[in-house]
Amino acid sequence: MRDKPAIGRDEIVQTLRSILLEISLDQGNIITLLDTSDGAKVIAELQSTLDVLGTKLNYPQTLVATFDSQGLIEELKTYACQSHMVAIKQKATDSDLTRKRRWLH
């Protein structure tokens, strides 16, 4: 599952609000933090523990944030494998795919 990047402050805020309805951060660790000399772009390698609908998940990810001239986020890209998160959501919502998998086994 690959989502298109949220571009612009309004899209970023809307995307983060929808994510926070299902996911919360229990613990986050910055492994690597890099930025450009002008500070316009930051790259962070993270190792997080998330609570996804009541299930704990170790979640490595990389974030790339680009800032505008006022220092506000202009673009935010997240790179991570979401398959475990999708499986948790499917199990919690008992989606059609989950029912089909149970039927096949």
Q: State pLDDT tens for residues 10-33.
A: 887 888 888 888 888 889 999 999
pLDDT tens column, 38-78: 989 999 999 999 998 889 999 999 999 999 999 988 888 88
| The pLDDT value given to residue 18 | 84
Strands (E), the chain: 6-7, 23-35, 41-52, 55-67, 73-79
**Strand order, beta sheet including 6-7:** 6-7, 73-79, 55-67, 41-52, 23-35
Per-residue confidence band for 5, with pLDDT thresholds at 50, 70 and 90: confident
pTM of the full structure: 0.63
The answer as to CATH 3.40.50.300 being correct for domain 6-80 is: no
- pLDDT of 103 > 80? The answer is no
CA atoms of 92 and 54, how far apart (whole Å):
9
Q: How many angstroms separate the CA atoms of 71 and 48, rounded? A: 25
Can you give the pLDDT at residue 66?
A: 93
Sign of CA dihedral 47, 50, 52, 56: positive
